[in-house]
Copies of this chain bind each other. A is one copy, B any other.
């Protein structure tokens, strides 16, 4: 592939397949029989708690970490076993890892030189990528002379200029402060999409995953817990871990009463909660009924309806949080329920007065307790 194709974003990315790979440090398994496919030109976010194996996975793709089992393919080509400098993988490190003894230009040129690109074509390509990332002005500064955000861009430029088959980003934004992070998120997404390189983004910031990536893979203790679009994962998390990791959730502990007619009824201290049926849950089994704060409404007037759950609770606190305001309720059995209302729309609940909370059955989830 040539500069033209990549820079023009012909989007001819490569499919990446991780097939049942395992990586062990001594007898500790950091990556455990993990399988994952990234579509050509797609940006996939690898989301997970600290220590769950994200970086290790990334390193395996880059070839910086040999794998103990399984195989890795770029397109049809099998690459595990290939030395890093033969894989043509681009990686942006959390610490950027810019060469401190080289100017921005030299940092960017390095890859070209190593790839044996004829010298006379360097200038052109370097200029193009520096412009693309709005850092042409910094060409002659050294890494320690420029800000974090700028270093970020240089790191990106250095990686993109060699037109890698695959782009790996390990928490590229975690070192920046909020305002800057917002800007860079969209920026990174745009640039990467423009070049059409298949990318794998590691982060433990849910918002980052949601805004930058096309799909999200939630990782836990070396395994993939769930893969899907941001919306799927947010609205239909398969486990409590996933549910908690992305967004907040209310839980009502209880026991399964019965399942049938496509619904699962759960007995809780706050009353019976109805949810879409969950295969494999037997009556009497201890479970937790979960629902997102923002789906909760106050409705004292309205009559009970089959497609909505309804519990009594009293308002115990309220916190203004900008766009939304959070209301904290307590149900019978002192379970706390949080409800999110848009700050401007007033949320019909008076302090300490009993009121009825309700939310759609369709947005209710049931998890086997302690899953």
Given contacts A234-B320, A320-B230, A323-B324, contact A248 B182 (CB under 8 A): yes
8 Å CB contacts to B: which residues of A155-209? 177-179, 182, 204-207
A-B contact pairs, 18 of them (CB 8 A): A49-B177, A50-B177, A177-B204, A178-B204, A178-B205, A179-B244, A207-B322, A211-B319, A234-B320, A234-B343, A246-B322, A247-B322, A247-B323, A294-B323, A294-B343, A294-B344, A324-B324, A344-B363
The residues of A with any CB-CB pair to B shorter than 8 Å are 49-50, 177-179, 182, 204-207, 210-211, 229-231, 234, 244, 246-248, 292-295, 319-324, 326, 340, 342-344, 363
A186 to chain B, nearest CB (A): 8
Q: How far is the CB of A181 from chain B (nearest CB, A)?
A: 12
CB contacts (< 8 Å) of A292 on chain B: these are 323
Q: State A182–B338 Cα separation when bound (angstroms).
A: 13
Bound-state Cα–Cα, A320 to B213, Å: 11
Question: How many angstroms from the CA of A50 to the CA of B319 in the assembled complex?
Answer: 25
Query: How far apart sit A178 and B211, CA to CA, in the bound complex (Å)?
Result: 17
Whether the pair B177, A295 counts as a contact (CB closer than 8 A) is no
Would you give the shortest CB distance from A251 to chain B, in whole angstroms? 14
* B247 with A319: CB separation less than 8 A: no
This chain: how many copies in the complex?
A: 2
Interface of A is mostly: mixed
Contact B322 A210 (CB under 8 A): yes
Docked complex Cα distance between A210 and B322 (Å): 8
Is the pair B204, A320 in contact by a Cβ cutoff of 8 Å? no
Given A244-B179, A342-B294, A320 contacting B231 (CB threshold 8 A): yes
Report B-chain residues with C-beta under 8 Å of the C-beta of A344: 294-295, 363
Query: A319 to chain B: which residues have CB within 8 Å?
Result: 210-211
In contact, A322 and B234 (Cβ under 8 angstroms) = yes
Closest Cβ neighbor of A340 among chain B residues: B323
A366 CB to nearest chain B CB (Å): 19
Bound-state Cα–Cα, A221 to B340, Å: 34
Q: How far is the CB of A2 from chain B (nearest CB, A)?
A: 29
**How far does the alpha carbon of A292 sit from the alpha carbon of B177 in the complex, in Å?**
21
How many Å lie between the Cα of A307 and that of B230 in the bound state?
37
Contacts of A363 in B (CB 8 A): 344
Task: Please name the residue on chain B nearest to A190 by beta carbon.
Answer: B317
**For residue A207, which residues in chain B have a CB less than 8 angstroms away from its CB?**
321-322
Chain B contacts for A206, CB-based, 8 A: 178, 322
